[in-house]
Each structure stands twice: as structure tokens, then as C-alpha cells.
Amino acid sequence: MNKKQLKTNDLGASFNQNILKDRKKTFSKSPFKENNRFDTLKNILRFLFLPNQLTSSYTDWNVLNREHDENSLKIYFKFFFSKKSEKVLSLEKEIAKNKSKRSIFRKLLTPLSIVGLIIILIMITLAVFAPWLSPYSYLDVAINIFAGDFEAPSSAHLFGTTEFGRDVLGRLIWGSRASLTSGLIAISLGLIIGVIIGLIAAYFGGFIDNLIMRIIDIIMSFPGLILAMVIIGILGKTMENILIAFSILLIPEFARLTRGSVLQEKNKTYIEAAKVSGARDFKIMFKYLLPNSISPIVIAATFDLGSTILGIASLNFIGLGEPNIVEWGRDINVGAAMLQVAPWAVLWPGFFISITVLGFMLIGDGLRDALDPRYIS
């Protein structure tokens, strides 16, 4: 071998070494270093099921070509058609868990649920920004008296006027605040008290369970609207008493629902393990049982929120609310006597009540499809 050939071989060897060094430097910058075959398979899984986590091309098929120039296809087919190791199976479970979490949000964001969410966001916007969105102040639409009762829609009053010349659009905007807050407060009180009572009854059982459930049965034996009228008649015609009445009506429903959900979770293995480990009853009830039983309660609360707003409007419609509070049911009561002369005084408040209840119903359907195991395929 002559000197020229030796120089050529030396140059080729040094060139190959430089290429290897460059590859190592480039590969070391990859966020996923390939140390063994499992890491390669891990990156294949990420490439197939978690494409959003890829930050460079070194986590895809190029990794196989770099580390296993001759056996890349063999490894690829072996990964899919042979028995997988425990590490790969655990990784697949983790990926499936993340995928199931994303599917919950996908099921929640259905077209009808989005429509309901938009409706409720509009109503919340009206309630929060009422002083800026309403063409008239609260005193003008609730207390002050103007000329021109039940005037037709005009440039000064886009939706017309109602009793005492008060602007219908202003009352609708300010009424959204009263309707939404009253419904939310009533649901919150009934939900908190009902969940605690149902949780206690299901967890301790025995005499406590029987006593609580018999009291709930007695309350549920009365018609809801009549019981609310009796409570308001005793306590007085105020918005606070209406909220108390509806809270009392909602307590039995949430108590029974919580009790049924907790009874399904009560005898499971993780509860027995918590008891054996020495966890106190309060911790077991509120840290383990309640979070795993909350899904049907949240769904029911969303549905009941619309029903509660409708019920509060019904009580105001029959004259059991305060006259100086701007509320949609009260507006229908006032405009019902002039329905043929001024239909706008009734139609617009009725439309706002219907669309708000519909919004909560659509959101409730979306939550049910996303959270209820019976609707999860």
C-alpha cells in the first residue's frame, strides 16, 4: 500500500469520526435521549399517540434509523406484533389515561353544549355589567315613575315600556342579575346542606340513615310549589324568604342523590384500606367518598339551576315577590293584564326566562354525556 492510499484512508477515517461526533452532539440536544430499546419504543408511542408533545424530529422514525440502521424495521414490527414488556404496558396505560381526560373535554364541548355556554355567558355578562349596558339606572327601572305606560318600541325605548313608563330593555338587563343570583344562591344552599346530610346518612347508616331519610320523605311528600307558598306565607314576601323556601325544596333531592352515590362507593376496596390505615371518618367522607361521588350531583345541580330560576320567576309571577325588585317573573305578572295592548311587556321577559333555562339544560346535557358512566362509550 502506497503513501497516497494511506493518506486517503486516514482522511476517510477522520471524516467518519467527525460525522460521528456531529451526530452525538446533535443527538445530545434532543429532549429525549435514547439509552436503550425501551426509550426507542417510548418515542414511537409518543409519535403515534401524543404528537403534540413532539418538540424535534429526533423523537420520530429517525431515532430508529440512527440507533438501529439494520434492525429498525424488525424492532418496529416486533413492537406491534410481539408480547410487550411491563414498562411498555404501563406507558400505554398512562397514554390512555391522558387520552381519556382529553375525551371528557371533547364530549363536553359538543355543539349544543357550546350554544348553552354562549347563552349563559351572555346572561352573566348582562348581570355583571348591567350598570354599563343598561340605558337606564336601577332607580329608573325599579322605583321612579314616568309618563307613557306600555308604550310601543321606539328609539328611546327599543323594547317598549311597561308599567309606570319603565324601560323594558333596562328591566331585562337588571333582571338578569336578580334571576341568576337568586337561582345560584338557592342552588348553593340546597346543594351544600343536602350533600352533607346525604353523606352522613350513607356513611353511618343504621338509625341515623333511617331518621334522616324519613324526614326527607315527609318533605318530599308535599307538592313543591305549595310548600314554597306556605313557607313564604309564614316568613313573609321577600326575596330572602323565596331563596330559603327553594333551598328547603332542593335539600331532599341532593340528599337522596348523594346518599345513593356514596352507597355505591362505600364498600369499595380503597375505602376499606383508608379505614385500616387509621383515617378518620371526616377524612374518609370528604376526601375519598365525596370526590368520587360528585359527578351525578354536579349534573343534577346544573339541571336544577335552570328549574330554580323558573320556579323563582313563577313565585314572583303569582305575586309572592317584592314589588321593588326587578325580576323577570314580576314583569310577566305586570304585563299579563295588558297582553293584548302591549305584548312586548310579556314576551321579552318570557323569552329571557326560556333562553336562560334552555342554556342551563344544554350545559347539563353536556356534563351528563361527559361525566355519567352510562353515557361514556
Quote the pLDDT of residue 48: 52
The tens digit of pLDDT for each residue in 280-325 reads 888 888 888 888 888 888 888 988 898 899 989 988 888 888 888 8
Exposed / middle / buried, residue 178 (Cβ in 10 Å: 0-12, 13-18, 19+): buried
* Contact partners, residue 88, CB within 8 Å, separation at least 6: 38, 41, 42, 45, 79
For residue 141, the model assigns a pLDDT of 87
| pLDDT, position 88 | 58
Residue 189: the pLDDT is 93
Q: What is the pLDDT of residue 119?
A: 93
pLDDT at position 39 is 56
pLDDT, position 236: 85
Structural domains for the chain = 34-108 (no CATH), 111-375 (1.10.3720.10)
pLDDT value, residue 25:
47
Tell me the CB-side half-sphere exposure of residue 84, using CA atoms within 13 A: 17
Q: What is the pLDDT along the chain (377 residues), one digit of tens a residue?
A: 554 444 444 545 554 455 445 544 444 444 444 444 455 555 555 555 554 444 444 444 444 444 444 455 555 555 555 555 565 566 656 655 555 555 556 666 778 888 999 999 999 999 999 899 988 888 888 888 888 788 888 888 888 888 888 888 999 999 999 889 999 999 999 999 999 999 999 988 889 999 999 999 998 888 888 888 888 888 888 888 899 999 999 999 999 999 998 988 888 888 888 888 888 888 888 888 888 888 888 888 988 898 899 989 988 888 888 888 888 988 898 888 888 888 888 999 999 999 999 999 988 888 887 776 555 54
**Can you give the pLDDT at residue 11?**
45
Residue 75: per-residue pLDDT: 55
SS (H, E, C) the chain: CCHHHHHHHHHHHHHHHHHHHHHHHHHHCCCCCCCCHHHHHHHHHHHHHCHHHCCCHHHCHHHHHHHCCCCHHHHHHHHHHCCCCHHHHHHHHHHHHHHHHHHHHHHHCCHHHHHHHHHHHHHHHHHHCHHHHCCCCHHHHHCCCCCCCCCCCCCCCCCCECHHHCEHHHHHHHHHHHHHHHHHHHHHHHHHHHHHHHHHHHHHCHHHHHHHHHHHHHHHCCCHHHHHHHHHHHHCCCHHHHHHHHHHHHHHHHHHHHHHHHHHHHCCHHHHHHHHCCCCHHHHHHHHHHHHHCHHHHHHHHHHHHHHHHHHHHHHHCCCCCCCCCCHHHHHHHHHCCCCCCCHHHHHHHHHHHHHHHHHHHHHHHHHHHHCHHHCC
